[in-house]
């Protein structure tokens, strides 16, 4: 079986990370052959080159790139692709056009966010195209969003993403962050790792930071790790709240497995999500998590059992749960241990590998 994975994302996002993970967990199966198609100049292209992954590229100068569609058709035909698996919404739309020129390939779409789908003629046509073999969702929350739109719910499959838990180990030293950002050893570090996009609602993160700082007795810093289109707006908002010295934007970092264990707490403020892998990574690092109820987050975080859960866009509730976690060592340690056990049982690469292999073979 030959599978072509397709992404149209230029930057580095969770969807591309998940796609690369899917590629890697299946690459050693002798009965599965995989290729990747991505935009020229994308971060994914550079990773394919670095990792020696067989791949093709195409120009994507606009959302509906004819050059990308043409290359997609050529690759499927020339490589005799059996399964076309697209990993973002734009790739989904472009593939709908490409499928008019492709007869036998099986089409699969992975959906990773639980943002609402507008019910109209075009969306109905798109999500109920007879060429769709299956839609893979990263959580039941994502599936619930699709159910009102998809006429054949049996096509929807939930496969949780997994992480390589061996890469995310607990450690006590904080030498990287303390050195890079001049943070004293007696400072509490609260962090988030996310693209600077509307979906992640980092404005609420910054609002919560202000409330936490005003109530916490001791030194505290907030780190936002990532890059994205809202960087200037977020920094201006931080400055308007007088948090220039308290909220640090680190930009994109390649050493997340090394710096994540140095957080004292992981705070997520997203308004929509599928099921963010950063939660699992924090679990594996034994870093307590306080998050919003966005998407499938509640499928991993059980309140006061594996973490703390707060309403979306409620900075006060987010801050209250952070302070409760910091001030109650017994609760914090209990949540850490429960979360650590959960990620090793349910969200490993081994579990994900088994489910994806069976999924593809059953197509």
Please state, in angstroms and rounded to a whole number, the distance separating the CA atoms of residues 189 and 94.
43
Structure tokens at 349: 């690469």
Residues of the chain with CATH 3.40.50.2000: 2-162+348-362, 165-346
Backbone angles phi, psi at 350, to 5 degrees: -65, -45
Structure tokens at 307: 């973490």
| Strand locations in 159-306 (E) | 188-193, 220-225, 247-251, 265-267, 289-292
Q: Is the dihedral of CA 197, 141, 275, 339 positive or negative?
A: positive
Instruction: pLDDT band for 269, please (50, 70, 90 cuts).
Output: very high
Q: DSSP assignment, residue 167? A: G
Q: DSSP assignment, residue 189? A: E
Is-contact 188 326, C-beta < 8 A? yes
Q: What is the pTM of this model?
A: 0.83
Residue 322: the pLDDT is 98
Residue 125: the pLDDT is 87
Does the structure show a pLDDT above 90 at 120?
no
pLDDT digits (tens, 9 = 90+) for 213-261: 999 989 999 999 999 999 999 999 999 999 999 999 999 998 999 999 9
Q: Is the dihedral of CA 300, 304, 309, 315 positive or negative?
A: negative
Residue 117: the pLDDT is 81
Does the structure show a pLDDT above 80 at 355?
yes
Highest CATH level, class, for 2-162+348-362: alpha beta
Instruction: pLDDT band for 124, please (50, 70, 90 cuts).
Output: confident
Instruction: pLDDT band for 174, please (50, 70, 90 cuts).
Output: confident
Does the structure show a pLDDT above 80 at 41?
yes
Mean pLDDT for the chain overall: 94
**N residues, the chain:** 363
Residue 121: the pLDDT is 80
**Which numeric CATH code is attached to 165-346?**
3.40.50.2000
Average pLDDT over residues 187-212: 96
């Amino acid at each position: 079986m030959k599978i072509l994975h397709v992404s149209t994302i230029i930057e580095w996002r969770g969807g591309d990370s998940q796609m690369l993970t899917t590629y890697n967990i299946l690459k050693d199966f002798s009965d599965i052959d995989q290729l990747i198609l991505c935009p020229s100049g994308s971060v994914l292209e550079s990773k394919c080159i670095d990792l020696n992954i067989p791949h093709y590229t195409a120009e994507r100068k606009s959302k509906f790139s004819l050059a990308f569609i043409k290359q997609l058709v050529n690759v499927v035909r020339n490589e005799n692709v059996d399964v076309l698996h697209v990993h973002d919404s734009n790739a989904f739309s472009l593939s709908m056009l490409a499928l008019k020129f492709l007869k036998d390939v099986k089409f699969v779409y992975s959906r990773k966010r639980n943002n609402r789908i507008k019910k109209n003629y075009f969306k109905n046509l798109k999500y109920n195209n007879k060429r769709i073999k299956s839609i893979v969702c990263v959580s039941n929350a994502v599936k619930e969003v699709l159910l009102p739109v998809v006429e054949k719910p049996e096509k929807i499959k939930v496969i949780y993403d997994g992480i390589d838990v061996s890469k995310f180990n607990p450690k006590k030293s904080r030498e990287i962050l303390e050195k890079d950002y001049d943070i004293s050893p007696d400072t509490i570090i609260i962090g988030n790792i996310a693209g600077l996009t509307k979906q992640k609602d980092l404005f609420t993160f910054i609002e919560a930071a202000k409330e936490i700082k005003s109530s916490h007795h001791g030194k505290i810093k907030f780190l936002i790790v990532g890059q994205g289109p809202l960087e200037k707006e977020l920094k201006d908002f931080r400055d308007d709240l007088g948090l220039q010295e308290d909220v640090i934007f680190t930009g994109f970092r390649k050493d997340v497995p090394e710096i994540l264990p140095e957080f004292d707490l992981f705070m997520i403020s997203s308004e929509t999500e599928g099921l963010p892998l950063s939660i699992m990574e924090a679990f594996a690092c034994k870093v307590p998590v306080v998050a919003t109820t966005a998407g499938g987050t509640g499928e991993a975080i059980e309140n006061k059992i594996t973490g703390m859960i707060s309403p979306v866009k409620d900075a006060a509730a987010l801050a209250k749960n952070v302070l409760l976690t910091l001030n109650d060592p017994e609760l914090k340690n209990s949540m850490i241990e429960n979360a650590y056990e959960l990620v090793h049982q349910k969200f490993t690469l081994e579990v994900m590998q088994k489910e994806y292999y069976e999924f593809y073979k059953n197509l």
